[in-house]
């Protein structure tokens, strides 16, 4: 059996990801926001860790990702970077840190790279953020794009429903993907779009396409860690596969602890000095 590019690579770089796509080797990506979880992801052999602005939802309890700040993203990213040697760490640029003014975008991206030690940044949108992407790339910072359902634009969309089902929006998405590739993005996330369209994008552009709710015919998959581990309960989109029911497991463990304290069975003789 031939060994995989990912296994034999040292540090995962954007070039390793490109080689994986060229070799039809799927890329596994998950989110993390803290040291302990990032350590587990690294031990499991994940290739890409996304410090997502989904931290706003699963860590901070906000309804949308809009309140997330640059300082908070840097804090989460630095914690993750301290745990990781091999995986590529990509950090989401938060809402308001890159739209509209490419100089501000560069400043935000430079802060993320300098203060967290991450490997790359990700930002949402197509041609409307192209100037920001161009400027960030001039500083030698790798950029991952994000098209389809872009949660930072939720107030424009009005809903988290599947995107690009109509031909016009699908055409627009494909054009944006080509623009991002031409600009020099090293990969693109496609969120919640029809599988057929995602497949077309992945076949058309040469850079890796990572899907979330975009079907199987893309170059890799990403999920939010707290969703796939079953820590979050209310969020159940069709694309989400839960690998654990951690909310039940954790709640049961907490109940046992409370009971042990109340019944004085914890600590026992061996658990004291």
191 is catalytic: yes
Q: Are 61 and 54 in contact (CB under 8 A)?
A: no
Beta partners for residue 143, in sequence order: 121
What sections of the chain are H helices per DSSP? 5-8, 14-22, 35-44, 55-58, 70-81, 102-116, 130-138, 154-157, 167-183, 195-204, 225-228, 246-262
x/- site string to ligand KIV, residues 51 to 90, per CB under 6 A?
Answer: -xxx------------------------------------
Residues contacting ligand KIV: total by CB under 6 A: 11
Q: Does 31 bind ligand KIV (CB under 6 A)?
A: yes
Q: Which is nearer to ligand KIV, 8 or 234 (CB)?
A: 234
Q: Which of residues 175-204 bind ligand KIV (CB under 6 A)?
A: 189, 191
Residue 51 CA to residue 217 CA, distance in Å, equals: 24
Closest distance of CB 237 from ligand KIV, Å: 11
Q: Does 224 bind ligand KIV (CB under 6 A)?
A: yes
Q: Does 97 bind ligand KIV (CB under 6 A)?
A: no
3-state secondary structure of 28: strand
Q: Which is nearer to ligand KIV, 109 or 222 (CB)?
A: 222
- With tokens 């989460």, the residue in question is 76
Q: Binding ligand KIV by CB under 6 A: which of 27, 147, 164, 212?
A: 212
Q: Which is nearer to ligand KIV, 83 or 211 (CB)?
A: 211
State which H helix or E strand residue 210 sits in.
Answer: strand 209-212
Q: Binding ligand KIV by CB under 6 A: which of 81, 90, 91, 222?
A: 222
Q: Which long-range contacts (CB under 8 A, 24 or more apart) does 232-238 make?
A: 232/58, 237/160, 237/192, 237/213, 238/213
Q: Which is nearer to ligand KIV, 113 or 220 (CB)?
A: 220
DSSP label at residue 163 = P
Neighbours of 181 (CB within 10 A): 19
Closest distance of CB 121 from ligand KIV, Å: 12
Identify the active-site residue in 42, 47, 124, 191: 191
Q: Which residues does the annotation mark as catalytic?
A: 191
Give the footprint of ligand KIV on this chain (CB under 6 A).
31, 50, 52-54, 92, 189, 191, 212, 222, 224
């Amino acid at each position: 059996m031939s060994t995989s590019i990912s296994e034999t690579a040292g540090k995962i770089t954007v070039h390793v990801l490109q080689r994986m796509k060229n070799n039809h080797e799927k890329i596994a990506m998950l989110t993390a926001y803290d040291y302990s979880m990032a350590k587990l992801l690294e031990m499991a052999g994940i290739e890409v860790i996304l410090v997502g602005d989904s931290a706003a939802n699963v860590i901070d309890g906000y309804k949308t990702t809009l309140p997330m700040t640059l300082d908070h993203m840097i804090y989460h990213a630095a914690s993750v970077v301290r745990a990781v040697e091999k995986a590529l760490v990509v950090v989401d640029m938060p809402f308001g840190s890159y739209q509209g003014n490419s100089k501000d975008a560069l400043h935000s991206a430079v802060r993320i790279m300098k203060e967290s030690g991450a490997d790359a940044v990700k930002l949402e949108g197509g041609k409307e953020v192209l100037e920001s992407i161009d400027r960030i790339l001039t500083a030698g910072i790798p950029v991952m794009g994000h098209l389809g359902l872009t949660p930072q634009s939720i107030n424009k969309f009005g809903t988290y429903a599947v995107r690009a089902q109509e031909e016009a929006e699908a055409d627009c998405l494909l054009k944006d993907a080509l623009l991002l590739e031409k600009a020099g993005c090293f990969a693109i996330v496609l969120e919640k779009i029809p599988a057929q369209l995602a497949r077309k994008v992945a076949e058309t552009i040469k850079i890796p396409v990572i899907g979330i709710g975009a079907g199987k015919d893309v170059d890799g998959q990403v999920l939010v860690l707290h969703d796939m581990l079953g820590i979050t309960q209310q969020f159940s989109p069709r694309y989400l596969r839960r690998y654990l029911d951690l909310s039940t497991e954790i709640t049961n463990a907490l109940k046992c602890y409370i009971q042990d304290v109340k019944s004085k069975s914890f600590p026992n003789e061996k658990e004291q000095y």
